[in-house]
């Protein structure tokens, strides 16, 4: 028997509409390297949603690829990027950013987010010129690597601080869908386009096979960006594969529907788990939740379900990570909750 | 009216079997990052064809990505790679190899190939230690960027030379399918696995949406290779996308059937073009052919067909590049030849 | 009136013996790039002191240069270096290490040192393969950036741990002289050669104009090292400049005499400062000391002496950094102490 | 018996004035990292000679270091530098430029120089955007690696071409002294400051122990340059060592006197060699000359004199390289010519 997997949001393939569109257009001859009509159309539709004229859009395959290309294309050799210590660039990218030559100034963060005060501390520590790196970019993730989200007021504060301090603001949106579909979210794609210099919209974790749409709002950062894609091996000859996916995701707002589904499935878990009297390591906001369970309970759940054990919280308890997605079946959620209730009562 | 495109071998999507398999398996939950059962199965089937036990296989998205990861993972900072000046790494990769820190020692080559004598010349010129880079790898493409192929005797000579001179031999196989399916080919996948340290099998230009299968034959070069994939943004979370494609391409030798089709379509063009009395800039061997036509004829062909004008050969003539592929329709070939004949006669 | 400077150990030129030797040999024709007879002789004398046959020696101009060349020549792209957060590579090198592609895993450290337990913590956190960097080297400084030193037992423990965990051990010896001449030191050059894979002996901060002597004990790390020097711009054509300096410093143990002088001057400061009832931020062991003074006292000292204010310790007190050197005059120490006493009493 | 060495222009130490000044100022306390009064004074004097207000000056230790820092600080990741194939950056720097991530577009050149026509050819070949690197800088050496020099008209043409084509013009002046002191030279320091974006004045090969003075004329390229020095290990803590040397070289035009001496010694060789009926591989213009001699004659000369055999010119003849310098003794020239005459007659 296969375990049902709550490990991540990329265990399944993609939304069926995408496969249908790939099939329907398969034998059309299209221009290569992103000049196909689907990529052009997808970019146009996304641009309309951004309501930010200067924005330009580039498709790449994945998040680490997006991060390393964006950062290395913007920073000069002596410039560094500020990030939460939990930031993807600082942890699970095998040194991708440093491999392009740049230091990451990591900030300890409990909720995966950073704020102007944190950043000021880093700036204050880097005032011995020219002996230290020069922090020049702020990297944030929304939703963060531990499921939290930025509120509009927080992003406004960051944006203003960055402008006042000559810093570029970059939002990793590998999980932007669930952030923008979260119950407490008050940000729109358009807000983000206006408040950041560059961000990306993650397809891979929200119903695409592969694909992130990089949005460069700051015109100065757009020049020659295509070269960076090519140089880092990110310019797909069959760019249609990315264009078709983003067209399907955005032409009828499927992107938001899918993210909302993921969040709803998580919310259902959260409510029942709370009703059973359990707490969470981090306040649940999106599709990654971290309930704290007795170890014995975890052991029994593990026999039927796949998930990561995140952290010991005391001798007898641990937090686990449950991730829902666009593909999570409500029946699976129900079954999990029934099982949880049963185990909890014994 | 859309022009029929002979510009490249990546204008269409992918072989329908691949889309069918993607659909059939779409909702299965699979492990991420290439640990899915399709990637494992695909690797096993390819390994059987290699008949070379030490070989290990890694899937990536594209050729430039494969080249930059392979080269940067193998060479030390002061080591360089020797290539034909027409080599993809030396031309159309926007400096991808240099961006990882390594010089390319380019050799002028008429037919896109290099031989031990050429390489010896480079070695002889790099004998002022430690003032010059140390050539440490030989990069060849098969088929080459201009359609030629390596014969077994040539590869044997290169392999032996490299071993005797402590050089790694790396074959870029972005178009390996058409090389191995060429009329004059006498190499097998297994030969290549045994005679090179590392090579890759190109899917993108032979019926896949994306994907190259890197084969590392030399055990010393395999250690920690997965880290390089991750660091360079090449490790897809939905690795199944690559696994499924290579499984479809190799489980029933579809890969070779598709390449053979591409070559046959090219051969048909070659024979008729020769019958009409035209010559070729480079001896046609695979799916890229370079007929020399009067400029007037080219102008008229251009109205109906897409192709690259490669090079002026004299005042009134130019070579064009025609590329056939797994997806080229025989009817299109026939129509092109009829049109050519008509124009030629007027 | 010029202030007397206790800011650093590189405010003066060099020991006069060096200038004399430079003058005496000035018009001799010598081979370039370190093949001159003085470089060869200096290496031979240092090797004798190392009593470690496999060691090889290379001269470079400065500490940051030594650090970046050593680290980049040893690590593969996905490998990282572990260091105290106070380590020079992590602070005052403007991202030199990251610029060569490598992440630094910084460990919070109160005394500037790290131990096996710290390192184990880093290793434990980097177990998600291949998603994270692979820590492969441990960087320590002796004496450290805040004046502390490693005892033999500590270095033995680190050396053993590194060997057991397949890590390279690298000691930054920009201030090795004062470490080995410290009162509580029980290490010798020979111990260090045997217990580390690579280290260097700092000349610049101990009586040379420029120059660090890199000692590579681990034979595997020596191959092609000369290329790295050349590639990073560190191979001086007039290598005699480095050779002559190290010959003068080591032929009669001037190197140790100078370091001992620096330490003695510091000790004199320490004793009197303690007698006056003041404490130190960090236990004084070498030529960098960090007394804690009332801010008012500091303000008055600053009028006559140059030094860095290191850190506020409370509302009314701060630690300052006083650095002595091979060139510090005992009369200057005496005068400083008299002034201090005077101010302290008012 | 030691052979007298015509191998290079860095076999001796430095001009005695430099050693005297180092001694005289040795125990002065000076600010570190180039803020000492000698560095400031030297920069001021050089600036006056430049008569180009925007220029800023930075001292580094050597030519390869200057080249790699200048190029990597100016170019973006996808940009390349155009150079003669004989250019130092393309040959004897062990891949230093590529190690910072940039491709060199090498132009075949017989006389070591390049011109607008050559550069246009490179630009024409790099028009497939974004698949190829973007040439963005032109690197020239004056005097070149084979002793030739740029005339004012040539530099004007290059300068104008670069401005019209958005290219930066960088002159490697490791041997600028002999260029500016050549008989046929019509350029001044001031001309060069106005016609290039950046260049450097080589001390190492013209009487200094180490040291090159980088002059950045283009204000846009000056920002944050100090960080690059630090990051690449080039910022000497005892910057006085560089400042004092350039002060001595420029305060009374010693720099030009020394270069003139080198050229005169070469001219003496040239005239006598011509009188004996021998020819030169490259037209002699500065302190590197390439006479063509019978191999038998070369064998006999080699017993008493050190020089490089540059190139076979036919079965029985070869060109050798003779280099004179600021330190070449006229008596040595006379003796060499006597010996040559004797051998030639036998």
Please report the sign of the dihedral spanned by the C-alpha atoms of residue C123, residue C129, residue C131, residue C137: positive
Q: Is D98's CB within 8 Å of B93's CB? A: no
What are the phi and psi torsion angles at B322 (to 5°)? -110, 130
Q: pLDDT tens for residues B17-41? A: 999 999 999 999 999 999 999 999 9
- The answer on B283 and B245 residing in a single domain is no
Between CA B312 and CA A213 the distance in angstroms is 40
Burial class (CB in 10 A: 0-12, 13-18, 19+), C127: exposed
Asked if C92 contacts B188 with a C-beta cutoff of 8 angstroms, the reply is no
Chains that touch B (3 or more CB pairs under 8 A): A, C, D
Compare CB distances from C234 to D227, D233, D241 and report the shortest one's residue.
D233
Between CA A190 and CA C16 the distance in angstroms is 68
| Local mean pLDDT, 10-residue blocks, chain A (346 residues) | 91 98 98 98 98 96 98 98 98 98 98 98 96 98 98 98 98 98 98 98 98 98 98 98 98 98 98 97 98 97 97 97 98 97 92
In A, which residues are within 8 Å of D129 by CB distance? 226-227
Identify the closest residue of chain B to D101 by CA–CA distance.
Answer: B99
- Three-point CA angle B307, B309, B310, nearest 5°: 120
Between CA B60 and CA B119 the distance in angstroms is 29
A313 Cα to chain C: minimum distance (Å): 17
Beta bridge partners of D289: D322
Beta bridge partners of A60: A212
Helix axes D16-24, D240-251, angle to 10 degrees: 130
Between CA D104 and CA D89 the distance in angstroms is 8
- The answer on A191 and A72 residing in a single domain is yes
Q: Is the pLDDT of residue C19 over 80?
A: yes
Between CA B343 and CA B296 the distance in angstroms is 9
Compare CB distances from C76 to B131, B224, B230 and report the shortest one's residue.
B224
Residues of chain B with pLDDT under 70: 1
In the predicted model, what is the mean pLDDT of chain C? 97
Q: pLDDT tens for residues C108-167? A: 999 999 999 999 999 999 999 999 999 999 999 999 999 999 999 999 999 999 999 999
SS3 call for B150:
coil
What is the enclosing helix (H) or strand (E) of D289?
A: strand D288-289
In B, which residues are within 8 Å of A205 by CB distance? 237
Q: Sort strands A198-202 and A168-172 into parallel, antiparallel or unpaired.
A: parallel
Last residue of a domain, one of C253, C276, C292: C253
Burial class (CB in 10 A: 0-12, 13-18, 19+), C17: middle
Q: How far is CA C86 from the centre of its chain?
A: 13
Last residue of a domain, one of A253, A288, A321: A253
Q: Sort strands C104-107 and C79-84 into parallel, antiparallel or unpaired.
A: parallel
- The answer on B280 and B339 residing in a single domain is yes
What order do you get walking across the sheet with C198-202 strand by strand?
A: C56-60, C212-216, C198-202, C168-172, C134-141, C79-84, C104-107
Report how many Cβ contacts below 8 Å link chain C to chain D: 155
Compare CB distances from B131 to C76, C133, C230 and report the shortest one's residue.
C230
Q: Indicate which of D31, D34, D77, D135 best probes the interface with A, i.e. most A CBs within 10 Å of its own CB.
A: D77
Identify the closest residue of chain A to D77 by CA–CA distance.
Answer: A73
State both tokens at D289: 């000359």
Beta bridge partners of A318: A293, A312
Q: Give the start-end residues of each E strand in chain A.
A: 4-5, 56-60, 79-84, 104-107, 134-141, 168-172, 198-202, 212-216, 288-289, 292-294, 305-306, 308-314, 317-323
Beta bridge partners of C138: C82, C169
Interface check D99 vs B, CB under 8 A: yes
A157 Cα to chain B: minimum distance (Å): 31
Q: pLDDT tens for residues D300-338? A: 999 999 999 999 999 999 999 999 999 999 999 999 999
* D-proximal residues of B, 46-85, CB under 8 Å: 77-78, 80
Helix axes A295-302, A330-345, angle to 10 degrees: 140
Between CA D145 and CA D147 the distance in angstroms is 6
Residues of chain D with pLDDT under 50: none
Q: Is C61's CB within 8 Å of D61's CB? A: yes
What distances in angstroms separate CA A315 from CA A292, A296, C125, one per listed residue? 12, 11, 20
Q: What is the DSSP string of D138-185?
A: EEEESS-TTS----HHHHHHHHHHHHHTT-EEEEE-TTHHHHHTSTT-
* A-proximal residues of D, 123-152, CB under 8 Å: 129-131, 133-134
Q: Is B98's CB within 8 Å of D101's CB? A: yes
In C, which residues are within 8 Å of B100 by CB distance? 77
Asked if D305 contacts D336 with a C-beta cutoff of 8 angstroms, the reply is yes
Q: pLDDT tens for residues D150-181? A: 999 999 999 999 999 999 999 999 999 999 99
Phi/psi region, residue B148 (left: phi>0; alpha: psi -120 to 50; beta: rest), is beta
C110 Cα to chain D: minimum distance (Å): 26
Eight-state DSSP code of residue D221: G
Q: Among C57, C12, C15, which Cα is nearest to C258's?
A: C15
- The answer on C270 and C166 residing in a single domain is no
C213 Cα to chain A: minimum distance (Å): 22
Task: Tell me what pLDDT residue D1 has.
Answer: 59
Work out the end-to-end distance of chain B between its first and last CA atoms, rounded to an integer number of angstroms: 24
- The answer on B249 and B308 residing in a single domain is no
What is the enclosing helix (H) or strand (E) of D294?
A: strand D292-294
State both tokens at B189: 């996948």
- The answer on D181 and D280 residing in a single domain is no
CATH number at residue C193: 3.40.640.10
* C-proximal residues of D, 270-329, CB under 8 Å: 327
Compare CB distances from A27 to B13, B60, B67 and report the shortest one's residue.
B13
- The answer on D158 and D268 residing in a single domain is no
Residue C2 included in any domain: no
Interface check B93 vs D, CB under 8 A: yes
- The answer on B239 and B213 residing in a single domain is yes
Between CA A177 and CA A267 the distance in angstroms is 15
In C, which residues are within 8 Å of D23 by CB distance? 16, 19, 23
For every residue of A35-74, which 3-state class applies, written as one string? CCHHHHHHHHHHHHHHCCCCCEEEEECCHHHHHHHHHHHH
Beta bridge partners of B107: B84
State both tokens at D80: 């390349």
Between CA A289 and CA C217 the distance in angstroms is 50
Eight-state DSSP code of residue D321: E
Report how many Cβ contacts below 8 Å link chain A to chain B: 156
D240 Cα to chain B: minimum distance (Å): 28
Task: Tell me what pLDDT residue A2 has.
Answer: 83
Residues 6+ apart with CB under 8 A from D274: none
Q: Is D78's CB within 8 Å of A229's CB? A: no
Asked if D61 contacts D211 with a C-beta cutoff of 8 angstroms, the reply is yes
Q: What interface predicted TM-score (ipTM) does this complex get?
A: 0.97
- The answer on D262 and D209 residing in a single domain is no
In D, which residues are within 8 Å of C18 by CB distance? none
CATH number at residue C268: 3.90.1150.10
In C, which residues are within 8 Å of D16 by CB distance? 23, 26
Q: Sort strands D134-141 and C56-60 into parallel, antiparallel or unpaired.
A: unpaired
Task: Tell me what pLDDT residue D152 has.
Answer: 98
Chains that touch D (3 or more CB pairs under 8 A): A, B, C
Q: Among B138, B207, B145, which Cα is nearest to B179's?
A: B145
Between CA A68 and CA B231 the distance in angstroms is 9
Q: Indicate which of B71, B100, B227, B231 best probes the interface with C, i.e. most C CBs within 10 Å of its own CB.
A: B227
Q: Is B78's CB within 8 Å of D94's CB? A: yes
Compare CB distances from C133 to A78, A95, A102 and report the shortest one's residue.
A95
- The answer on A249 and A273 residing in a single domain is no
pTM: 0.98
Tally of domains in chain D: 2
Identify the closest residue of chain A to D224 by CA–CA distance.
Answer: A130
CA atoms within 13 A on the CB side of A163: 11
Asked if A83 contacts A112 with a C-beta cutoff of 8 angstroms, the reply is no
Task: Tell me what pLDDT residue C1 has.
Answer: 59
Asked if C56 contacts C225 with a C-beta cutoff of 8 angstroms, the reply is yes
Task: Tell me what pLDDT residue A346 has.
Answer: 83
Q: Is B94's CB within 8 Å of D132's CB? A: yes
Residue C11 included in any domain: no
- The answer on B125 and B160 residing in a single domain is yes
Q: How far is CA A90 from the centre of its chain?
A: 14
D220 Cα to chain A: minimum distance (Å): 14
Task: Tell me what pLDDT residue C46 has.
Answer: 98
Confidence of residue C2 (pLDDT cuts 50, 70, 90): confident
Interface check A32 vs D, CB under 8 A: no
Last residue of a domain, one of D199, D225, D253: D253
- The answer on A274 and A227 residing in a single domain is no
Burial class (CB in 10 A: 0-12, 13-18, 19+), C333: buried
D232 Cα to chain A: minimum distance (Å): 10
Interface check D98 vs B, CB under 8 A: yes
Between CA C138 and CA C262 the distance in angstroms is 28
Interface check B95 vs D, CB under 8 A: yes
Residue B277: domain span? 4-10+255-345
């Amino acid at each position: 028997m296969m375990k049902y997997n709550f490990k991540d949001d990329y265990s399944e393939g993609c939304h069926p509409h995408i496969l249908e569109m790939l099939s329907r257009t398969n034998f059309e001859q299209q221009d290569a390297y992103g000049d196909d009509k689907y990529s052009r159309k997808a970019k146009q539709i996304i641009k309309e949603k951004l309501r930010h004229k200067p924005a330009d859009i580039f498709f790449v395959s994945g998040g680490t690829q997006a991060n390393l290309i964006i950062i290395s294309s913007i920073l000069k050799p002596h410039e560094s990027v500020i990030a939460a210590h939990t930031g993807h660039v600082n942890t699970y990218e095998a040194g991708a950013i440093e491999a392009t030559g740049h230091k990451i100034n990591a900030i300890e963060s409990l909720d995966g987010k950073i704020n102007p005060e944190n950043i000021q501390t880093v700036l204050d520590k880097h005032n011995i010129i020219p002996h230290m790196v020069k922090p020049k970019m702020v990297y944030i993730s929304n939703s963060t690597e531990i499921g939290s989200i930025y509120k509009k007021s927080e992003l406004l504060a960051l944006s203003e601080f960055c402008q006042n301090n000559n810093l570029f603001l970059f939002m990793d949106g590998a999980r932007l869908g669930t952030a923008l579909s979260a119950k407490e979210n008050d940000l729109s794609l358009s807000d983000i386009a206006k408040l950041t210099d560059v961000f990306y919209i993650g397809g891979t974790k929200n119903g695409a096979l592969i694909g992130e749409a990089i949005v460069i709002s700051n015109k100065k950062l757009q020049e020659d960006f295509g070269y960076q894609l090519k140089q880092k091996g990110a310019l797909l000859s069959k760019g249609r594969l990315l264009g078709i996916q983003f067209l399907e995701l955005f032409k009828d707002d499927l992107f938001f529907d899918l993210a909302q589904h993921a969040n709803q499935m998580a919310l259902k878990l959260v409510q029942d788990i709370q009703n059973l009297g359990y707490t969470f390591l981090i306040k649940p906001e999106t599709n990654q939740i971290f309930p704290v369970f007795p170890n014995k309970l975890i052991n029994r759940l593990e026999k039927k379900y796949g998930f990561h054990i995140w952290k010991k919280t005391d001798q007898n308890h641990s937090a686990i990570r449950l991730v829902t997605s666009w593909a999570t079946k409500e029946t699976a959620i129900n079954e999990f909750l029934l099982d949880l209730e049963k185990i909890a009562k014994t």
